[in-house]
Amino acid sequence: MSINNGFAVEVERETANTRRLISKLEDQHLDWRPHAKSMTTGELVGHVIDLHNWVNQALVLEDFNLATNFVPSKPKTIQEAIEDLDSSYSKNIDVINSLTDEDWQKLWTMRFGDYVISELPRVDAFRHIIYNHLIHHRGQLSVYLRMMDIPVPGLYGPSADDTMTA
């Protein structure tokens, strides 16, 4: 399996997992936060969607500057969040399919202004900067659901809320 095919499968599955989780929320949950230092549910949902969007917005650049190339999402409704997620999916697949093995090995930089946060090959940026970060925050979102007593869907297998029959 090529790098592109492997990442395309991952984008498909992780987008579906994010959609499954976000679709459990309702608009009134967006302002909830578990602690004063925590993001609201809406901010966290926006951040998770931003990370999905980074495939088609950040990964295509050789030098991604958070100060100039990024405006955080602030979904006002769950429907808006799901539409943003869905609209990014085909763009993400197109970007992945457009990259050559050589493109995946090229140095990719993430910075804020002049401060360099990370420099690594694009293939590592996809995994470590975008997708591991995405999965971490989506896990955080699943805890938010649990704390709000919203059934948590299984993402990689059944959750404690899934009914299993033999």
Residue 97: what pLDDT?
96
Whether pLDDT at 13 is above 60: yes
> Partners of 110 in the beta sheet?
64, 118
Question: Per residue in 73-86, pLDDT tens?
Answer: 999 999 999 999 99
CA distances from 123 to 10, 51, 74, 97, 145 (A): 13, 15, 28, 13, 32
Residue 10 · residue 16 · CB < 8 Å? no
Task: Give domain limits for the chain.
Answer: 3-147
* Helix intervals (H) in 99-131: 101-105, 122-124
Whether pLDDT at 114 is above 60: yes
Q: Which CATH architecture does the domain made up of 3-147 adopt?
A: Up-down Bundle (1.20)
Question: Per residue in 28-70, pLDDT tens?
Answer: 999 999 999 999 999 999 999 999 999 999 999 999 999 999 9
